[in-house]
Amino acid sequence: MEARQNGEKLQQNGPYARHKLHNRSRVGRLFRTVFTVSFLLAILTACAGPTDAIIGQVDPRVDLEAVEGLTKQVVYVATSRQATDEAGLLFSGERGAELGFARFTVTIPPDHKTGAIERPERAPADPRSEFAIVDPTVFSGSKPFVNRLSRELRSRPPANRDVLLFVHGFNTTLTEAVLRAAQFAHDSGFTGVPVVFSWASRGSNFDYVYDLNSVLIARDKLIEAGLLILEASPSGVDFVAHSMGNFLTMEVMRQASLQGRFNASRKFRDIILASPDIDVNLFETQLKGIPRSQRNFYVLISANDKALGISKFLAGDVPRVGDADPERLADLGVTVVDLSEVKDTSSIHHSKFADVPEVVQLIGRHLESGSHFETSTTASNVPANVVQSIANVPITIFGGQPRSVGLQ
């Protein structure tokens, strides 16, 4: 009876009514799809995680200088986030009108395991067994940020004056970005200064569209941050971007190239794109604006990346760069590092660049020496206990002629 009544109404109101009904149906399907994807992401990443309010929150009973084996990693931050007065956070997930700047010291516990972030579940952090973020400094503007970064670089030996610019991905808070940058710099053996560009992600699986728009809004601010870093006179700048952060990085690279400003300083070295959450057709378009001779991109992909699988589903089944055909990507003039066969402990396999000890060490050796991704190593920054493991890393590299590495 209800179906017959609906049919009679459609006949009475004509094509316009059918169009409205069709649109309502499409909107309903879209809502259900977004809700389902967000729900799946929440399950996969266990969204009820530890607190983010740990910046400057350290157990007062612990004397940092007395903790034997504790190491420290300085991290600088340029951010498009809005400042907040909430204790332990400093910057929120909302968008700021101007860039904000900060400097932190991250302490890494004596029993730290390469590839892991021993993160505190609650504040205050215990530096004896957990990562802690101490000595937070928020700069009043760009000039004091540049001056402090410049002094930091000049205080180091000439070989250690590089900057590692890290651009985080979707669903990432400032705390998570700082901890990840510190862990990656420490575990890779990077001897320069890591700088995080933290765009305004809300740090929620349910804010994918908000985060995507935050990326687009942050494009000019990332260019501004890059120019400020160059003012500090580093020896060179390496980029590491993850997930949705690759979308931001590639948009900025394309924009700078079209304006004739791409790597005008000649200080940009390697651009490592880890698990890129970019439509593969868009990536092809982005690269068209960059001459092949300047495409010093290393694209880290994995066919079992579940986060990108969900992103692909949401995007109409168009492949993401991070799980695309490696030969198709290599034909674009980039080097592809296929990590599909590399085992990790994550349930979504989306952060192998930093989670897998052997992979993070390989990247570190590459950044130190400027060599290709090979698994034989004599580099000083690789601990003896992982040298043999590195020799057996099952990666395949595509770029020119594809070759298998470490498949013994």
Buried b (16+ CB within 10 A) or exposed e, 134-155: bebeebeebeebbebbeebbee
In a domain, 159, yes or no: yes
Domain with 187, as residue range(s), is 71-371+394-399
Q: Which two tokens stand for residue 336?
A: 């592809």
In a domain, 146, yes or no: yes
Cα(158)–Cα(188) distance, integer angstroms: 19
In a domain, 376, yes or no: no
pLDDT digits (tens, 9 = 90+) for 39-82: 555 544 444 579 999 999 999 999 999 999 999 999 999 999 99
Does the predicted TM-score (pTM) go above 0.75?
Answer: yes
Evaluate the CA torsion angle 167, 300, 279, 314 in order and state its sign.
negative
pLDDT digits (tens, 9 = 90+) for 362-381: 999 888 876 556 544 333 44
In a domain, 165, yes or no: yes
pLDDT digits (tens, 9 = 90+) for 155-204: 999 999 999 999 999 999 999 999 999 999 999 999 999 999 999 999 99
In a domain, 61, yes or no: no
Q: What is the percent of the chain with per-residue pLDDT over 90, rounded to a whole number?
A: 71
Cα(220)–Cα(227) distance, integer angstroms: 11
Q: In total, how many domains does the chain have?
A: 1
In a domain, 34, yes or no: no
CATH number, domain with residue 184: 3.40.50.1820
- pLDDT for the residue numbered 405: 40
In a domain, 265, yes or no: yes
In a domain, 272, yes or no: yes
